[in-house]
Amino acid sequence: NAGVTQTPKFRILKIGQSMTLQCTQDMNHNYMYWYRQDPGMGLKLIYYSVGAGITDKGEVPNGYNVSRSTTEDFPLRLELAAPSQTSVYFCASSYWDRVNEKLFFGSGTQLSVL
Amino acid sequence: GEDVEQSLFLSVREGDSSVINCTYTDSSSTYLYWYKQEPGAGLQLLTYIFSNMDMKQDQRLTVLLNKKDKHLSLRIADTQTGDSAIYFCAETIHGSSNTGKLIFGQGTTLQVKP
């Protein structure tokens, strides 16, 4: 079972470069999320999507863009990378059982902007 | 506002019990979660508790909720070296227009000494 797959696992960018973090899930979940995790901090929600073609901003969306053309894929785009975007990025998908939402996380992408 | 606080570090000996504490501020939270993050991996849901409960037990895990004090704890009985990880407390608001808005604490690093 693949679950939530993120690529790449590690990346170093120079200031001003752009890149796309890939995320795909094979569980047919409608909800998908991007979080960032800074050292000693909890996760902050960047963007989320409740289904193909629908995306919305989370707590810290500035400097990022997303798209959701299919149920499976939810890429996160960084334009003009800045040192403040150095972080570990987690993609997640979720489903609701009768009463509760259950998130499944990818293994993360460690990004350094120098 | 919404905020989740945890102590950053806990060290115990193998076989002892571990208690990880968390406080939250949003009294409207309906579900509270504990996630486990092993090195180099994403977060994995350990357990959760609904806000109308004050205790939930799941094998070696016991979750206690004090709604009056907005205090959540996770007790791990007979702690093993494999329990060494970062533990995140999180709250979510059911029915929020910002679907899937999980607020995470900073994480508690549990170190288990042989």
User: For residue B2, what pLDDT is reported?
Assistant: 58
- CB contact A94 to B (< 8 Å): yes
What is the average pLDDT value for chain B, to the nearest integer?
Answer: 86
Peptide bond into A8 cis (omega under 30): yes
Measured between beta carbons, which residues in chain A are less than 8 angstroms from residue B106? 40-42
Among partner residues B100, B103, B105, which is closest to A31 by beta-carbon distance?
Answer: B100
Give the residue among B77, B17, B19, B48 at the shortest CA–CA distance from A102: B48
Looking at residues B67-73, what average pLDDT do you find? 91
Measured between beta carbons, which residues in chain A are less than 8 angstroms from residue B40? 107-108
Token readout for B31 is 């579900």
Measured between beta carbons, which residues in chain B are less than 8 angstroms from residue A92? 42-43
Angle at A26 between CA A24 and CA A27, to 5 degrees: 120
Asked if pLDDT for residue B1 goes beyond 90, the answer is no
Min Cα separation B64/chain A (Å): 18
Measured between beta carbons, which residues in chain B are less than 8 angstroms from residue A58? 98, 101
Measured between beta carbons, which residues in chain A are less than 8 angstroms from residue B104? 42-44
Contact A100 B45 (CB under 8 A): no
Min Cα separation B96/chain A (Å): 13
- Return phi, psi of residue A61, to 5°: -85, -15
Of residues B103 and A88, more confidence is placed in A88
Instruction: Compute the distance between CA of residue B20 and CA of residue B109 in angstroms, rounded to an integer.
Output: 9
| pLDDT tens digits, B30-65 | 788 999 998 878 888 898 888 888 899 989 999 999
Asked if pLDDT for residue B69 goes beyond 60, the answer is yes
Instruction: Compute the distance between CA of residue A58 and CA of residue A113 in angstroms, rounded to an integer.
Output: 22
Asked if pLDDT for residue B95 goes beyond 70, the answer is no
A35 membership: H or E segment, kind and range: strand A31-37
Q: Which amino acid makes up residue B81?
A: T
CB–CB of A15/A113 below 8 Å? yes
User: For residue A40, what pLDDT is reported?
Assistant: 73
**Tens digit of pLDDT at every position of chain A (114 positions):** 679 999 999 999 999 999 999 999 999 999 999 999 987 777 888 999 989 999 988 889 999 999 999 999 999 999 999 999 999 999 999 887 766 678 889 989 999 999
Token readout for B93 is 């608001």
Instruction: Compute the distance between CA of residue A87 and CA of residue B32 in angstroms, rounded to an integer.
Output: 25
Q: What SS3 class is residue A85? A: helix
User: For residue B26, what pLDDT is reported?
Assistant: 74
Instruction: Compute the distance between CA of residue A37 and CA of residue A54 in angstroms, rounded to an integer.
Output: 24
Asked if pLDDT for residue B98 goes beyond 80, the answer is no
User: For residue B61, what pLDDT is reported?
Assistant: 95
For A112, B28, B63, the CA distances from B51, given in Å and listed in that order, are 39, 9, 12
User: For residue B18, what pLDDT is reported?
Assistant: 97
User: For residue A2, what pLDDT is reported?
Assistant: 76
A57 membership: H or E segment, kind and range: strand A54-57
Chain A, nearest residue to B88 by Cα: A42
User: For residue A28, what pLDDT is reported?
Assistant: 93
Asked if pLDDT for residue B87 goes beyond 90, the answer is yes
Contact A92 B42 (CB under 8 A): yes
Residue B97: which pLDDT band, with cuts at 50, 70 and 90? very low
Q: How many residues does chain A have?
A: 114
- Cα atoms in the Cβ-side hemisphere of radius 13 Å centred on B21: 6
User: For residue A103, what pLDDT is reported?
Assistant: 84
Contact B50 A99 (CB under 8 A): yes
- Return phi, psi of residue A45, to 5°: -80, 125
